[in-house]
Homo-oligomer: A and B are copies of this chain.
Amino acid sequence: MANEASESFAGGISTPQKKKSPANEDGDDALVPPLNFATVDGGIFRSGFPDSANFGFLKSLRLRSIICLCPDKYPEANVQFLKANGIMLYQFGIDGSKMHLFVKNTLCSPIDDKYYEQESSTNIPQETIREALKVVLDVRNHPLLIHCKRGKHRTGCLVGCLRRLQQWCLPSILDEYQSLAAGKARESDQRFIELFDISSLKHRPLSFSCSPKNHIGVVQKAVSYPPLEYYHEESL
């Protein structure tokens, strides 16, 4: 116990600070986490889309990988940041907009034969989330950041499915989803999390990197997902 080493965190990374307050009067080295940033587990983080103001903070996390759940081309500034820091990008493009089905309300009278709009979860493909989960579960990708645009829906679905694998009870999974959706929780996402089929994943070893004394010596097999855009030898 006495030999345990402490680890350096976030030393001397400069990010611009506009407001001078007691919270940052020690200099201009305050770190700016991305929108809706949170720690999911040891070595796994989540957030909204990071921009250049967040690069100092991301650097302090010493990321090895980023999972982006947006389908658009990754911004050039972010690409350069990843290249400079040897961070691998896994992009699983999922459309973030709500999918609306027009459902006939059978309670209406035949005269009011209207179709009503209803949210659908068909825009979150199970298979894409399953592939992303395999990346999350591989400790060789940690520390890892999961993000979409606002870090609420697509990210919330992926983390919710991870919690299923971690055997959290459903009410707690949905509490966490709702808490980070910050008033924008979607019924369809919550249904997706509840119904997601974990059977093909549940025999994979799960990592929990805050328990360094509990290594059980299981080495995960190599991941077969090349980064979609580029790969750099790890410099960390």
Seen from chain A, the residues whose Cβ lies within 8 Å of a Cβ on chain B are: 1-10, 15, 17, 19, 21-24, 26, 29-33, 36-44, 57, 60-62, 139-140, 142-143, 164, 166-170, 172-173, 175-176, 179-180, 182, 193-198, 202, 205-220, 222, 234, 236
Known: A168-B31, A180-B179. A4 touches B140 (CB 8 A): yes
Q: Is the CB of B209 within 8 A of A7?
A: yes
How many Å from the CB of A215 to the closest CB on chain B? 4
How distant is the Cα of A212 from the Cα of B236 in the complex, in angstroms? 10
Copy total for this chain: 2
Given contacts A9-B166, A209-B212, 17 further A-B contacts (CB under 8 A): A5-B217, A6-B205, A7-B205, A7-B206, A8-B208, A10-B206, A21-B194, A22-B194, A23-B194, A33-B169, A38-B179, A42-B42, A60-B208, A61-B208, A61-B210, A142-B210, A214-B236
